[in-house]
Copies of this chain bind each other. A is one copy, B any other.
């Protein structure tokens, strides 16, 4: 497959609110941009065939894996994992594990998808735990943050691995050059963070040839764009993300109340409605789109559940990018470079100790 001129993607054709139509539309749009794509559509042939009649281009480059079973949005991940062995999602993920596809895309139940992807694909070589990664708008553009909730507690090695994966994600998916990396930490003098954060920082400082580590970042500086990649454990990352979302909703509601408080303020609201919409556009899609599990033994991209054809095509594009850029290989190489950095750092320490003694 590595030498094939084609990139083959397994698509969970039944996952997502507008599936299977949005999936096939997405495949069509992605194929127009990139003719080297090939698809494995996993889903109910009786639903897929009538749609494919209208998309002969997609049909001609697609195989179908037929199943009538699929994971519902309200299914619990643990149940989905045990009882969904013939579901479209599970079979699509299996296609990657079996080497039939280079990556899998699903717009289905997020929790179930993560559970299944972790179980089937395991983690990639050198990574002990996958992390949820996503990008966010900042005052300077955007930043990448991980882990957003896959691991509630992390040791320093996990955090260092997240830094490597975040670096590659920032370069490959976000197109950042030499992204700066920071560890999320608390700011007051008395408490410079947990032992895990301290040890991770010490290791990352040794890796300066491999990673552009700039130190700690406080919670209020993330959105300032003070770092390109923000690394943290899944507990703090989830809470930072959710607290920000909560505040954003709260302020939007307060603003709405302010505008609706009188006739004049309603008129005022009307006059700023256009720039406000721009503001909203800037905030929303990035906050909620494109969270993915990185560090798996295969590439699994999540498109959000409400994705239409255009959004789904975008998820396919991300998957394609990751395959063609050799994301997994890049992470492996960087992990190797990092281990050399750390080895050298330790050797230098030993040398220094010997000189001192």
Residue of B189, B224, B258 near A278 (CB, 8 A) is: B258
Least CB distance from A248 to B in Å reads 5
Given A219-B239, A268-B272, A275-B261, A77 and B247 contact (CB-CB distance below 8 Å)? no
| A150 CB-CB contact with B under 8 Å | yes
Q: Which residues of A are interface residues toward B (Cβ below 8 A)? A: 76-78, 110-111, 114-115, 138-139, 149-153, 184, 186-191, 193-195, 218-224, 232, 234-236, 238-255, 257-259, 261-262, 264-265, 267-276, 278-279, 282-283
Q: In the bound complex, how far is the Cα of B193 from the Cα of A258, in angstroms?
A: 37
Least CB distance from A268 to B in Å reads 3
Q: Which chain B residues border A220 with CB–CB below 8 Å?
A: 242-243, 245-246, 249
Residue of B250, B253, B259 near A275 (CB, 8 A) is: B259
Least CB distance from A57 to B in Å reads 38
Majority secondary structure of chain A interface residues (helix, strand, loop or mixed): helix
Q: Which chain B residues border A242 with CB–CB below 8 Å?
A: 187, 218-221
Given A259-B272, A264-B271, A236 and B234 contact (CB-CB distance below 8 Å)? no
Least CB distance from A271 to B in Å reads 3
Q: Which chain B residues border A275 with CB–CB below 8 Å?
A: 257-259, 261-262, 265
Q: In the bound complex, how far is the Cα of B267 from the Cα of A241, in angstroms?
A: 34
Q: In the bound complex, how far is the Cα of B250 from the Cα of A267, in angstroms?
A: 25
Least CB distance from A10 to B in Å reads 22
Decide: A186 and B246 in contact? CB cutoff 8 A. no
Can you pick out 17 interface pairs between chain A and chain B where the beta carbons lie within 8 Å of each other? Answer: A76-B189, A111-B188, A114-B188, A149-B187, A149-B188, A186-B239, A188-B238, A218-B242, A219-B245, A243-B243, A247-B247, A258-B276, A265-B272, A265-B274, A268-B269, A268-B271, A269-B271
